[in-house]
Amino acid sequence: MKNNIKLLVLLFSFGFFLSCDDELNDLQPFVEGNPETFFTSVSAFQNGVDGAYRQLFNYYSDPDSGLQGIPDILSDNVVLVRTGRTSNSTYFDYRYVASTGGPIDFYWSEAYEAVNVANLVIAQIDNLADGAEKDNILGQALAIRAWAHFDLVRFYGKIPTQSADANASLGVVYIKAEDGDTADPLAEPVRETVASNYAEIIGDLERAAQLIADDNGEGKLDANGVYGLLSRVYLYNGEYQKVIDAANEVDVELATADDLEGLYTDENEAGLVVELAINTSSESTGNNVGVLYSQTTASDVLEYAFDFDFFNSIDEDDLRLGVISYVGENSGNQYNAIAKFLGETGEVNGRVDIKVLRAEEVLLNKAEAQFELGLDALPTLNELRDLRYVSYTGGETGSALEDAIQYERRVELSFEGHRFFDLKRRGEAVMRSTMGDIIDGSGTPPDFPTLAADDFRFQMPIPIAEINSNQNIVQNPGY
């Protein structure tokens, strides 16, 4: 696909979709065809939906640009390690512009590819007889379409709770086959408002929740996944009672502290609500998402380490500490290295499943929403803390409770693609440590330790190729 979204409806070549997902191993890709004649069976429709999942996997797991890691690199969770490749330093240093490439171009094209495939499925859905199988296919396609658009608008646009002007600001183009948005291959659509985008995202997800099956297997959305995504989207949209209601629909137990190591080495799926899976045992290809943080072979060639202040804020009684960190060594230096996503058991290739959404996030979404509504959020927060600490003091109220909720969110979801968006949606600045990258705080500190809450760089620039190909696409301010 080209960057320009006006070409979306011309694309119907899916040979690249199916290669290494666990759940896709037994499926054979179709190469090309007319959607009206191809989509005639449940298996053909599911094949198309699986192609859309593959596009999501592409931009979440890319070893150079993956959405699983870039939001942490943009935030205050990590520091650039100078003995590494200095990969993504342009993003770490906030020097990106419309022509920078990397994530700016990649997310735009891959997310709209996912939207395109979902729309192809939705447009032909009446080829199937009414019933549970049709509903489940449609539910998956609607949820994927919403998910991809959500990723687009939170990256390139503002978040509704970010600032007073956010809802009226420009979001992205929301493409819906049933509204005729895919009828004209030469159309040059305009960016809609953030408020309009969120209304469409929520509408698609709420409809999907009524249609999708309870269990679609590994790597696919189901009812729990859709309600989990709704809890996140409602939180971004400031609809706090709906956050609580959606969270209460998610029936997935929290991972225990003993589960965590196996979760991140793919030995178990404890607490997983939404994942994008890769079969590392039987496939020779696939994205090594952990490479965003380290190139760990005979020695640790780290790309990023823990931010000094963040690491030292973690209590020694926190059972997560030994799961998410280790001491890495390179060029005679030691670093507080990131252990998440190193690889499956016995591997250090960075190739693991993408943990998109976990029960722990759903719980923390609920706790934050309860706090915002003036409800008692402490028992909800303590459900997680009881599983994560040898002991803790607790008992917080007021702003101390709010800080505790956000702190647990930062630690629990660290390096999983949340921190930049959490700061952004709360209208908070990035405040990095001014210490260096080496374990004792020496070494090279970040060039840009602070990004003010109102800085235009919280919104990524629209790719220059899109601007050049569609005269109706307006660039974000500051670029």
End-to-end CA distance of the chain: 24
Radius of gyration of the chain (CA): 21
Q: Which two tokens stand for residue 319?
A: 């059972």
Q: Which two tokens stand for residue 255?
A: 């991972």
As a whole-number percent, the residues of the chain with pLDDT over 90 amount to 82
Amino acid making up residue 128: L
As a whole-number percent, the residues of the chain with pLDDT over 70 amount to 90
Mean pLDDT for the stretch of residues 43-67:
94
Residue 60 has pLDDT above 80, yes or no: yes
pTM: 0.93
In order of 295, 366, 376, the CA distances from 44 in angstroms are 39, 38, 48
Look-up of token digits 């996997």: 57
Q: Which two tokens stand for residue 33?
A: 């065809």
- In angstroms, rounded to a whole number, what is the distance separating the alpha carbons of residues 174 and 72? 26
Amino acid making up residue 5: I
Residue 68 has pLDDT above 50, yes or no: yes
Look-up of token digits 């509704």: 160
How would you label 92-106 residue by residue, b for 16+ Cβ within 10 Å and e otherwise?
Answer: bebebebebebbbbb
Q: Which two tokens stand for residue 225?
A: 């996944």
- Please provide the average confidence, as pLDDT, over all residues in the chain: 91
Residue 352 has pLDDT above 70, yes or no: yes
**Which residues pair with residue 285 across a beta bridge?**
none
- In angstroms, rounded to a whole number, what is the distance separating the alpha carbons of residues 56 and 355? 12
pLDDT, position 23:
35
For the stretch 90-149, pLDDT in tens is 999 999 999 999 999 999 999 999 999 999 999 999 999 999 999 999 999 999 999 999
Give me the helices (H) in 24-164, please. 35-38, 42-61, 70-73, 89-92, 103-123, 132-156
Which stretch of DSSP H or E encloses residue 272?
A: strand 272-276
pLDDT, position 285:
54
Mean pLDDT for the stretch of residues 434-439:
98
